[in-house]
Amino acid sequence: MTQQRVLKLHNSLSGKKEIFQPIVPGHIGMYVCGPTVYSDVHLGNCRTFASFDVIYRYLLHIGYKVRYVRNITDVGHLTDDGEDRMAKGAKVAQLEPMEVAQHYTVGFHDMMRIFNTLPPSIEPRATGHIPEQIDMVQDIMDRGYAYERNGSVYFNVIKFNQEHPGVYGQLSGRVIDELMAESRDGLKNQEEKNHPADFAIWMKARPQDIMVWKSPWSVGFPGWHLECSAMSTKYLGQTFDIHGGGNDLKFPHHENEVAQSNGACGCSPANYWLHTNMLLLNGKKMSKSDGNTINPPQLFTGESEHISKSYSPMAVRFFMLQAHYRSTLDITDDGLQAAEKGFKKLMDAYNTLQKLPVDARDFDGSETEHDRAILALIEDAYQGMDDDFNTAIALACLSELGGYVNKLANKQLASGDVAPWVIERLKTVYHTFVFDIFGLKDEESKEDSGTVEGLMELILDLRANARAQKDWVASDKIRDVLAEVGIQVKDGKEGVSWEKN
């Protein structure tokens, strides 16, 4: 699609829906806070990244050139005890922090592939941008919004608030007095600060810190909030179009990003702030500590007390699409079962539609009520997406369109009831929504399983040849490698067979 549509986005800055105006017509810069790679990505993270994936896909579909930056946080995100999450993970496992980061980054990428999310245009790592962060600390100090104490540098929230009334607190909607009341940067040496609300942008290393760099102030490390300010500025400019993340990041992370950018260059980082809502499990916040949690592999295998069976990645993605990204989403076994059925229905309608004959001779040329209804539903699906990316509405429209497909297939509607060009348009739109915008995949695709069958035939032929030549090493290796990828080879009386574990 080349023509761009009018988009309305809910901007957390104003708390309202606004008509989207890009800074440069036709182009969008979008930054989304990525994962902190100190543990396996959880389902809540996946919801947020899947939501921004659909947003990215839709922006591309309606013709924007999008630079999508999603970072990897591998330093500076402290625990409540003031310890770096990466370093803590590394100490526990007796690994280098970068080994921990690499391990969980690979796991994160695997999970993003399983959920069929598109890779971002740039995926910068915090540890790869220490000079940019040091420069930004210096810029903030030069403009008078940060001060040094014993080798650490603190953002001066009080001064910033006096000179920019109404800015600090606007994004998270918090009352400034509340924000000023306590410290939230996880540091123990609070007495160094002018005020508890000030936050560290550079921290002097303590003896236990192992991820450290030289800076003009001390050997230390950057504050967590700084990485996103420095990397978004580097790749998208001082002010860019869209900044996203989960709504638990509004405060302090995003609020501090706004302060840092204003402090460094006098400008707001993003024009539109988009926040996803949280994923719940059985009506309660997912939490590892009280056992109310489920991770993606458990969903795929069914090994969890919270579910009665396994669910495929696309059934879970469909489940997520059924809710608007700003609504909370409650994972329940019933909800997943309904989503599994809904996903199957959608794919069945898609497959039926592709096979529908389009016979121009049946049509007398005049527009029918069914033509109008189908075209209106297609426009409603688009308008749902234009209205702050409302996937719930778009999915409902597709489901209604599926009803027309079934009526045409079982001849409740004659082929002359719908104009050939309307059927062609329906085919294109269905394909576009299901695969390009919603990012779903046909998990039972004949093409895929046909390819696997063909490959397995070839591999088992090679193994049979090896065995015929008594090359047991090669034959065992083929069996073992297949086992590693989850395919079990069985040598039975009737020959060789295989199955997926």
Q: Which residues bind ligand AMP (CB under 6 A)?
A: 33, 35-36, 44-45, 47-48, 73, 245-246, 248-249, 276, 278-279, 286
**Nearer to Zn ion by C-beta: 116 or 238?**
238
Could you give the CA distance from residue 362 to residue 355 in angstroms, rounded to a whole number?
A: 17
Pick one of Zn ion, ligand AMP, none as the site partner of residue 271 (Cβ within 5 to 8 A by kind): none
In the complex, minimum distance from the CB of residue 195 to Zn ion, in angstroms, rounded to a whole number: 24
In DSSP terms, 154 is beta-bridged to 147, 200
Pick one of Zn ion, ligand AMP, none as the site partner of residue 246 (Cβ within 5 to 8 A by kind): ligand AMP
Could you give the CA distance from residue 312 to residue 317 in angstroms, rounded to a whole number?
A: 9
Give the DSSP per-residue string, 89-103: HHHHHT--HHHHHHH
Tell me whether residue 72 is exposed, middle or buried, using C-beta atoms within 10 angstroms of its C-beta: 0 to 12, 13 to 18, 19 or more.
Answer: buried
Token reading at 34: 């990525």
**Nearer to Zn ion by C-beta: 30 or 33?**
33
Could you give the CA distance from residue 426 to residue 350 in angstroms, rounded to a whole number?
A: 10
In the complex, minimum distance from the CB of residue 11 to ligand AMP, in angstroms, rounded to a whole number: 17
Q: What dihedral angle (degrees, nearest 10) is formed by the CA atoms of 413, 402, 58, 320?
A: 170
Q: Which stretch binds Zn ion (CB under 5 A): 27-35, 264-272, 336-344, 405-413?
A: 27-35
φ, ψ of residue 273 in degrees (nearest 5): -110, 125
Pick one of ligand AMP, Zn ion, none as the site partner of residue 400 (Cβ within 5 to 8 A by kind): none
φ, ψ of residue 275 in degrees (nearest 5): -125, 130
**Nearer to ligand AMP by C-beta: 246 or 342?**
246
∠238-173-135 over CA atoms, to 5°? 25
Could you give the CA distance from residue 22 to residue 15 in angstroms, rounded to a whole number?
A: 19
In the complex, minimum distance from the CB of residue 105 to ligand AMP, in angstroms, rounded to a whole number: 11
Pick one of ligand AMP, Zn ion, none as the site partner of residue 248 (Cβ within 5 to 8 A by kind): ligand AMP
**Nearer to ligand AMP by C-beta: 69 or 418?**
69
**Nearer to ligand AMP by C-beta: 32 or 385?**
32
* Nearest Cα residue to 434 out of 396, 403, 462, 398: 398
∠492-498-343 over CA atoms, to 5°? 145
**Nearer to ligand AMP by C-beta: 35 or 223?**
35
Could you give the CA distance from residue 27 to residue 56 in angstroms, rounded to a whole number?
A: 12
Pick one of Zn ion, ligand AMP, none as the site partner of residue 296 (Cβ within 5 to 8 A by kind): none
In the complex, minimum distance from the CB of residue 281 to ligand AMP, in angstroms, rounded to a whole number: 9
In the complex, minimum distance from the CB of residue 434 to ligand AMP, in angstroms, rounded to a whole number: 24
Instruction: Please say whether the beta carbons of 299 and 43 come within 8 A.
Output: yes
∠301-303-306 over CA atoms, to 5°? 120
In the complex, minimum distance from the CB of residue 258 to Zn ion, in angstroms, rounded to a whole number: 12
In the complex, minimum distance from the CB of residue 178 to ligand AMP, in angstroms, rounded to a whole number: 21
**Nearer to ligand AMP by C-beta: 44 or 313?**
44
In the complex, minimum distance from the CB of residue 70 to Zn ion, in angstroms, rounded to a whole number: 10
Could you give the CA distance from residue 11 to residue 240 in angstroms, rounded to a whole number?
A: 14
Instruction: Please say whether the beta carbons of 255 and 287 come within 8 A.
Output: no
- What binding mask, one character per residue, do residues 214-243 give for Zn ion by CB under 5 A, x or -? --------------x---------------
What CA–CA distances, in Å, run from 492 to 183, 477, 497, 498?
Answer: 68, 19, 7, 10
Pick one of ligand AMP, Zn ion, none as the site partner of residue 279 (Cβ within 5 to 8 A by kind): ligand AMP
**Nearer to Zn ion by C-beta: 201 or 405?**
201
**Nearer to ligand AMP by C-beta: 36 or 261?**
36
Pick one of Zn ion, ligand AMP, none as the site partner of residue 60 (Cβ within 5 to 8 A by kind): none
Task: Identify residues 29-68 at the interface with Zn ion (CB under 5 A).
Answer: 33
Instruction: Please say whether the beta carbons of 354 and 446 come within 8 A.
Output: no
Pick one of Zn ion, ligand AMP, none as the site partner of residue 228 (Cβ within 5 to 8 A by kind): Zn ion
**Nearer to ligand AMP by C-beta: 246 or 313?**
246
Pick one of ligand AMP, Zn ion, none as the site partner of residue 286 (Cβ within 5 to 8 A by kind): ligand AMP
In the complex, minimum distance from the CB of residue 240 to Zn ion, in angstroms, rounded to a whole number: 13
Binding site for Zn ion (CB under 5 A): 33, 228
